[in-house]
Structure 1
Amino acid sequence: MSDVTEQTEEELPLERAGDRLRHAREKSGKSVEQIAEETRIPQRHLESIEAGRFADLPSRTYAIGFSRTYARALGLDEHEILDMVRTDIADGGGQEQRAVSTFEPGDPARIPGRGLAWFSAFAALLLVVGVLAFFGDRIFPGAGPGSILPDEEPAAAPAQAETTGGTSAPATAPSGQVVFTALDDNVWVRFTDEGGERLLEKQLMKGETFTVPASARDPRINTGRPDLLAITIGGKPVAKLADQPVTIGDAQVSAQALGARTAEPAAAATGSGTQ
């Protein structure tokens, strides 16, 4: 009789971790779906644990971590359950499991959801972009795109330099041959030099010209129609001696004298414009 009893006990299989968990769940009156909602462990993984199919789980560490959480949810001794799980895996329950990870998951209820993980990654990306946009020129000077505007040309030098007093310096006096041209018929003129020697005295016809000799010293003119005499110095026109028919006597007509007359009105106009 005793031999039969011993033989029967030897033939009875040992209770596995999955069986212990399943019996405790059934005793508590909860379904696998309810345990999955409480622990946030996928239902298929809970069914694999109860069936002892630890090879169906992602890795050995998941089998241990999920079993611990399952035991806590049912009020079982988690250390005892984990010892049973390790024994079941060593006996062949996890022969086909994947490579063991060094990470052992904890309570799945504490693992952040996928949506939160994506939101955190997006927020971190925005932060990096903002930092680079704000501090980019300081961290990487000159790394931005080049300007499409052409380089600024240096400001052109003023045509006339200003003197210390703030007034424009007089323009350089023109030089060259002085030529008078009659703009109408019968324009009487008389040209003399420093000694009073007469250089020309006649009535010029329209278009007729007179060139003041370059050798003449302090040449002068007498005329009653300065408004009908066009003047050029070195081929460049200068202002007439007068714009109205007035009598002019002994007016200097050298290039220097005529150039000074031309510069004086310009200087006066500049001075009045700056006031």
Structure 2
Amino acid sequence: MSIGNSSESSEPEPEPESEDDRPSVGRSLQQARINAGLTVEEVSSATRVRIPIIHTIEQDDFTRCGGRVYARGHIRTLALAVGVDPAPLVSQYDAEHGGRPAPTPAAPLFDAERIRPEPRRPNWTAAMVAAIVAVVGFVGFTLFNGGGSQSGPVSADPVTSKPSAAAPGKAGSGKASSDPKAEASASAIAGVPANKVTVKLTADNGQTWMSAKDHNGKLMEEGVLKQGASKTFTDSKRIDLVLGNAGAVQLFVNGKEVKNLGDDGQVQRLTYTRGDPSAG
């Protein structure tokens, strides 16, 4: 019996499959940007990250970021701009580059909003000028009101003397005054011009990247709309919108709320005219 002629012993054993078939961090960011329909220039304008740095990050080259702390910050910023969760990408970067870096004094410098200005000496001259202006204004206001009170009784304001339109709501169920969304919708309907298209965006459930163009294709505004912030756009014919995180946006078109825009992280391209929406 010859063991060396055995066909089974000569066959190579199959190599084990790779445990991690995930795309790289840069490739994931690039693919998410393409899926969102955004160019590198649009992402750079929204995030203030320079175009060459975005290109190198998408090629998995983080040497131009200025260090691991800044690289993590760039990854998080770009992920939010293209509508993906930054946490898995940051964790993947840490795993590929020696773990999460230890906290250093340089880390807060990445967030420009946390930079504290250097203490300045008080400007006593400006304070004295402001105090003098306040005193003069108070004296003038007092003299003006005093002179007006001698001319006779002030007539009642015809607007405030009328019964309030919300008075029936107090006698009834009281829902009209207690529902802030109903009040916001009524206010939006009353304030829009009938001969134009008016769009109001509010980042209600989180921040989102957005852009708005008029009927000529001219860019009205683009950038990141932070949570709680609102933007209103008006045009004579049409407004084209791009929302990077549709699930976070509350949208009013011509004074009517448009619901069910999309899910969190979903990119939506929308167009509205003076006759929209047909049902708000």
Per the normalisation by structure 2, the TM-score is: 0.33
Per the normalisation by structure 1, the TM-score is: 0.33
1 or 2 for the larger relative contact order (CA 8 Å, sep ≥6)? 2
Larger radius of gyration: 1
